[in-house]
Amino acid sequence: MTNGTDRGNYFFSLGYYKNDGLIKHSSFDRISARMNSEYKLIGDIVTVGENFTLNRTGEVQAPGGIINDAMISLPMIPVHTVDGKGWGGPSSTMPDRQNVVRVNEYNKDNKYSYWRLFGDAHININPLKGLNLRSTFGIDYAQKLAMSYTRPYTNGFLNDDLSAVYMGQEHWTKWMWNAIATYNVTLGRHKLDIMAGTELNREDDINLSAYREDFAIISTDYMYPGAGTGQSIAGGGAGTYSLASFFGKVNYSYSDRYLASFTIRRDGSSRFGRNNRWGTFPAFSLGWRLSEESFMKALSSVVSDLKLRAAWGQTGNQSIDNTARYSIYDANYGTGDAPTYGTSYDITGSNGGSLLPSGFRRTQLRNDDLKWETTTQTNVGVDFQLFGGDLYGSFEYYDKRTKDILIKPSYIAVIGEGGGQWRNVGRMSNKGFEFNLGYRHTTAYGLSYDINGNLSLNRNKVLFVPDDVASTGDFGGNGAMNIIGNSINRYAGYVADGLFRTQEEVDNYMALYDVRIGQPGLGRIRYRDVNGDGVIDTDDRTWIGDPNPDFTYGLNVTLRFRGFDFTMFWQGVQGADVDVSAIKKNSDFWSLGDMNANRTTRLLGAWSPQNPDSDIPAVSMSDLNNEARFSTYFIENGSYLKLRMLQLGYTFPERITKAAAMQNLRVYLSAQNLLTIKSGKFTGMDPENPTTGYPIPLNITFGINVGF
């Protein structure tokens, strides 16, 4: 709802969203209210306003790993017992797999509710022509209440009489204040815009938790920590951080033909040590609108607008823990029950029949030298419009280099418990281009259309990381290869060179190579001697895949005819390698993981003398060939093209909306993730989410937009 007067205006809206998850009982819902208003306190000189939104969100998340658990559950076990009152479960000769239907049913009350209020209030003052003073205070407050229940159960030979509840509450308060002055002046063909300001940000977080066992009544109306009679555990913590910024900007243009801009900001964060708390980040840009030059006038019928631009700038990153610069010690007092003995070590293995002395343990090393991660980027580009603006587009090349990368790398065990430390390590570059091309037109019959395509290419390279980090796999290389000179997160491993299909192939292989890792055999994977030394061992690991795509692309189509509108958006990724080991270890092997678990139907097509052309290894009860090793067998083509969005809408004519006392009325039907085109050899569910997690769902939405 909107309304306005000569002195001000306001806007108010309500919204509700409900989404049932792919897993039964999982759901997400949100109700929201939004209010904006602005009021002229003293004519056009002083204006005050606000913009606030209140959300209430509720969610029931699916149990962790429920999809994978369902895939490996034995299908012979019924959901319920014969009388229909109990839960079906395994016998003592079967693996101890839980009844996934029971797990999911008992999870339906494990939910959280989340209230969030965010927005800002501002005052705007125009004391002189061209001078504007504005101050804004914003707040983002949220609180979350989560409840999780443990219920007694019996399914087959598995049972547990534990009843318990976990209750957690969290509060976040973020506030921001800024004051910004701008001055605009025009002298003939010269135009100058000056801005200067300061901003303060602060965030305070606090959390509490309570856990209690043993309840006389198993009901969510009764199971609160105060009603339990068993073990009780309380927890809680808090955190905070502050950010202060000073910034300024100058924009200059001459005859709207030559453009220049300079920006500088200085930021200080409490997350860094006293010596490196502040960072300074400058930037500038230049532009030249060639289409305004006299020598381009002869081409004005073709070239409507043509601008060359270049920019250079630095930005800082402080995305680390609030406590990253400190040494941290956690209290760890045991309860007397394994595995919560605390920090003590029971050398006898008997726990002495009583609670052992406990204390604190270190979980992180301090680093007084932490500083801002800095990214320096150079851009050059061109923007153009041709034939009256019908054909338009842009091309941009960028070179982005990041130094002092912030990371908490893995560390070797000899450093000792709690040896992790946030550090500034290494340098990395990203180079590439972005190309956008579109065509828009309106026909004589009133049909308007806009077709726009884009293509992006990025090449990443890790320029330097210390030796102790290069070998951990934190930047890529799986701990096997030095990542320097390669793209981030690149995969390293063995090269799988097909299967042994005859005994002769096995014998020849054994005669040529000293196989120190694995035992070749019929139907087993053959691994390549990459370095040619006649030995198949860890030295034969090499680069086998890159998750960074060759390029990404998209296509947008918009059509309008009278009151109808149609929108379509395609998005694609080409040349990305994905790791599907989490799927293939269950679908292609009997010997990897729990051999009593269920497998997918792919295993029915495994290699055998009767099926010698299969590319799936033979079924085996043991992994003598060490086929769990990471190899190209687990790397697949993750390229895809997705129809992300399709929407059809209709806006009612003004004569109808006015008759109904409305400003506008639009109805629409929208669908997201309608279609995925992928490689025919991809064995997972979705190349965008190649693990055993959720496939990205299809969403269909019907909506009505009303303005009063």
> 3-state SS of 582-615?
HHHHHHCCCCCCCCCCCCCHHHHHCCECCECCCC
- Residue 337 confidence (pLDDT): 52
- Residue 349 confidence (pLDDT): 59
Q: Assign 6 a pLDDT band (cuts: 50, 70, 90).
A: low
Which tokens in the block code for residue 49? 């306003």
Q: Is the pLDDT of residue 556 over 70?
A: yes
Report the chain's terminal Cα–Cα distance, integer Å. Answer: 5
The CA-atom distances, in angstroms, between 585 and each of 601, 613, 631, 678, 682 are 13, 20, 12, 21, 15
The CA-atom distances, in angstroms, between 233 and each of 215, 504, 649 are 15, 64, 54
- Residue 19 confidence (pLDDT): 85
Q: Assign 300 a pLDDT band (cuts: 50, 70, 90).
A: confident
Query: Between β-strands 131-150 and 635-637, what pairing exists: parallel, antiparallel or unpaired?
Result: unpaired
Cα–Cα distance measured from residue 71 to residue 693, given in angstroms and rounded to the nearest whole number? 11
Amino acid at 162: L
Q: What are 570's strand-pairing partners?
A: 555, 643
Cβ(4)–Cβ(40) under 8 Å?
Answer: no
- Residue 360 confidence (pLDDT): 79
Nearest residue to 283 (alpha-carbon basis) of 247, 329, 253:
247
Phi then psi dihedrals of residue 126, to 5 deg: -115, 80
Which tokens in the block code for residue 37? 């208003």
- Residue 597 confidence (pLDDT): 79
Cα–Cα distance measured from residue 632 to residue 361, given in angstroms and rounded to the nearest whole number? 41
Query: Between β-strands 164-187 and 190-213, what pairing exists: parallel, antiparallel or unpaired?
Result: antiparallel
- Residue 371 confidence (pLDDT): 94
At 504, which helix (H) or strand (E)? helix 503-512
Query: Exposed, middle or buried, 31 (CB in 10 Å: 0-12/13-18/19+)?
Result: middle
Q: Assign 189 a pLDDT band (cuts: 50, 70, 90).
A: very high
Looking at residues 196-202, what average pLDDT do you find?
97
Q: Is the pLDDT of residue 351 over 60?
A: no
Cα–Cα distance measured from residue 64 to residue 575, given in angstroms and rounded to the nearest whole number? 31
> In sequence order, which ranges of 73-138 are alpha helices (DSSP H)?
100-106
Q: Is the pLDDT of residue 43 over 80?
A: yes
Cα–Cα distance measured from residue 357 to residue 93, given in angstroms and rounded to the nearest whole number? 41
Q: How many of the other CB atoms lie within 10 Å of CB of 532?
A: 8
Query: Between β-strands 406-407 and 423-424, what pairing exists: parallel, antiparallel or unpaired?
Result: antiparallel
Q: Is the pLDDT of residue 338 over 70?
A: no
pLDDT of 54-88, one tens digit each? Answer: 999 999 998 988 887 888 888 888 899 888 889 98
Which tokens in the block code for residue 214? 């043993």
- Residue 279 confidence (pLDDT): 95
Q: Assign 335 a pLDDT band (cuts: 50, 70, 90).
A: low
Mean pLDDT of the chain: 90
Cβ(660)–Cβ(34) under 8 Å?
Answer: no
The residue to which tokens 């990542």 are assigned: 483
Phi then psi dihedrals of residue 194, to 5 deg: -125, 135
- Residue 272 confidence (pLDDT): 93
pLDDT of 591-610, one tens digit each? Answer: 887 777 788 889 999 999 99
Q: Assign 22 a pLDDT band (cuts: 50, 70, 90).
A: confident
At 424, which helix (H) or strand (E)? strand 423-424
Residues 6+ apart with CB under 8 A from 9: 2, 3, 37, 38
Cα–Cα distance measured from residue 386 to residue 58, given in angstroms and rounded to the nearest whole number? 50
Query: Between β-strands 496-499 and 232-254, what pairing exists: parallel, antiparallel or unpaired?
Result: unpaired
Nearest residue to 692 (alpha-carbon basis) of 581, 543, 548, 554:
581
Greater model confidence, 94 or 630:
630
Nearest residue to 426 (alpha-carbon basis) of 412, 398, 406:
406
Cα–Cα distance measured from residue 489 to residue 483, given in angstroms and rounded to the nearest whole number? 8
- Residue 205 confidence (pLDDT): 95
Nearest residue to 154 (alpha-carbon basis) of 104, 224, 95, 81:
81
- Residue 527 confidence (pLDDT): 96
Looking at residues 377-390, what average pLDDT do you find?
95
Which tokens in the block code for residue 98? 């839980």
Residues 6+ apart with CB under 8 A from 357: 344
Cα–Cα distance measured from residue 287 to residue 261, given in angstroms and rounded to the nearest whole number? 9
Query: Helix (H, G, I), strand (E, B), or coil: what is residue 539?
Result: helix
pLDDT of 415-473, one tens digit each? Answer: 677 778 899 999 999 999 999 999 999 998 889 999 999 999 999 999 999 888 877 88
The reply to whether omega before 225 is within 30° of 0 (cis) is no
Q: How many contiguous H segments (helices) and E segments (strands) does the chain have?
A: 6, 35
Cβ(38)–Cβ(2) under 8 Å?
Answer: no
Looking at residues 107-125, what average pLDDT do you find?
95
Nearest residue to 461 (alpha-carbon basis) of 484, 431, 483, 487:
487
pLDDT of 652-690, one tens digit each? Answer: 888 888 877 777 889 999 999 999 999 988 988 889 988
CA angle 686, 690, 692 (to 5 degrees): 100
Which tokens in the block code for residue 101? 């239907």
- State whether the Cα torsion 223-227-233-237 is positive or negative: positive
Amino acid at 521: G
pLDDT above 70 covers what percent of the chain? 94
- Residue 1 confidence (pLDDT): 56
Q: Is the pLDDT of residue 234 over 60?
A: yes
Q: Assign 383 a pLDDT band (cuts: 50, 70, 90).
A: very high
Looking at residues 344-352, what average pLDDT do you find?
58
- Residue 691 confidence (pLDDT): 78
Cα–Cα distance measured from residue 144 to residue 579, given in angstroms and rounded to the nearest whole number? 35
At 363, which helix (H) or strand (E)? strand 359-364
pLDDT of 129-183, one tens digit each? Answer: 999 999 999 999 999 999 999 999 998 888 999 999 999 999 999 999 999 999 9
Exposure string for 569-596, b = 16+ CB within 10 A, e = fewer: bbbbbbebbbbbbebbbbbbbbbeeeee
Greater model confidence, 284 or 22:
284
Looking at residues 33-39, what average pLDDT do you find?
93
- Residue 343 confidence (pLDDT): 66
Looking at residues 500-523, what average pLDDT do you find?
92
At 70, which helix (H) or strand (E)? helix 66-72
Radius of gyration (Cα) for the chain, nearest Å? Answer: 32
Cα–Cα distance measured from residue 405 to residue 688, given in angstroms and rounded to the nearest whole number? 27
Nearest residue to 170 (alpha-carbon basis) of 116, 119, 120, 222:
116
Least confident span in 7-11, 26-30, 106-110? 7-11
Q: What are 542's strand-pairing partners?
A: 493
Cα–Cα distance measured from residue 268 to residue 284, given in angstroms and rounded to the nearest whole number? 21
pLDDT of 521-555, one tens digit each? Answer: 999 999 999 999 999 999 999 999 999 999 999 99
The CA-atom distances, in angstroms, between 514 and each of 502, 508, 529, 532, 541 are 19, 12, 10, 11, 16
Which tokens in the block code for residue 319? 């995305």
- Residue 661 confidence (pLDDT): 78
Q: Assign 268 a pLDDT band (cuts: 50, 70, 90).
A: very high
Cα–Cα distance measured from residue 115 to residue 59, given in angstroms and rounded to the nearest whole number? 12
Cα–Cα distance measured from residue 581 to residue 629, given in angstroms and rounded to the nearest whole number? 10
- Which of the 8 DSSP states describes residue 691? S
Query: Between β-strands 447-464 and 551-561, what pairing exists: parallel, antiparallel or unpaired?
Result: antiparallel
